[in-house]
Structure 1
């Protein structure tokens, strides 16, 4: 085996092990401990974050930030990765620290000159726009890390009722309209809750509270179970444009009934406690979407319209 191949395999082995001894590697590779020691020294000089542990039971360990072995990309794959990173340019904060920018720079820097020139022609001509919302990057990184290591997080959360301390077990992170959201099990409320990241004032891993195994199995694809809550039926009439608007929203798309003239209707069950949320959501579409029922939803919409009328009364 060539030395270069051996070093690449060694990077892969020590990435998987995290901690190891020279003798362990020597036995695996069938080499002397002296040769392995020289290889480790060379890897360290190349930037692989290996350090020795002194004392009884010592050996070598990797720093937390490990390096991946070389990965080959085709030009098309590299360009795809470049633009995938660019989709996050307009977010106010990201849970990846400086990793996304560093990865983007590497992909761009190592592309052939003619491909870089093609990408330069596309700058400011392709954008993945998202409304700018300011939030703490440190909070996002803590939430992301907690999901990766399966840890409870203690947060300070600001809601309409004030600031409270919560212990939560995050399920995931997702972005919508520039905001980051974190569905999580709240140990305080003993139920699933959704937290908006910009309202989280601080976040810290809390290893004193064990994670719940059933929560660790959940993903963002698991919808909250609201079968035990009181239900109601919301009915809508949609113009042609209303149909087009609601078809782009996964909450409504599968419930739309189309008319021959392009207009439509919608009937779907919702939890009573979510009624105001849905009316607030429908408000943005104005007269393209009309609430037919229930009466409580129509009354809440009338209340919103009257408040707006008073605000702009001459």
Structure 2
């Protein structure tokens, strides 16, 4: 049958596996395990000196690791279970372990609210609260604070990755403008804002003419370059409040708050002079009518584009 120390050691190995903590933190945690061994009670002075030395070193050194492989709350929960294993059967020790678990949850909540900033040792201490820190053993408090620094680094990295993923989820991979899903979401928000403010909201659906023939004649790389160039031209020429998106294939859409459909149509006519001579595009423009849904306005813009295509291409049709 496992002893308390053996069970704690197994829990500790699992915790280390989850966190990937540095050698110094591991040495401190092993020392903490030895402190929890009933056979070493009271703890010998050399062991206490070792823990104090490691504590001083850790307080002055950033704690790095790979805690992003598991949610930080899970790590603190594992640490709380470790302390519970070390606490033993005495009622007072069990109560102390419960307080550790509560402190861990407090710290986890504080860290989860700080994904955009570094949490220092001092801030971690404040997050736990003076009273809770006073109740815990010095080693347990130190372990929680070490994991706080470790978790802060992991949370910063996680935030960076999440922002990158959000950008990838919102951008078209070829052109760098908004993708269709993101543009559709922005359309809903812009429509709601226009309904509240009463301002104009124009919508554009734009399609390159004879793009398949261009691809066949010049090659797919040239076709990709053309799409990127057109996207850059649209973004550079549009008003700051407008959002350009690649709606699919050679089709682009523009969401333009604050201007009428006629004003945006005139902008498109000017834009035609900026594209290469052998490239033309068709466009449909409309505006959001009072009381109508974004989908209804989008359908009218699409119908206007269809009319421009069937009316000879290289033109803009405005749907009233």
Q: TM-score interval w.r.t. the shorter chain?
A: under 0.3
Tell me which structure has the larger Cα radius of gyration.
Answer: 2
**Greater helix fraction, Structure 1 or Structure 2:** 2
TM-score between the two structures when normalised by the length of structure 2: 0.23
Query: Larger RCO: Structure 1 or Structure 2 (Cα < 8 Å, ≥ 6 residues apart)?
Result: 2
Structure with the higher fraction of residues in strand conformation:
1
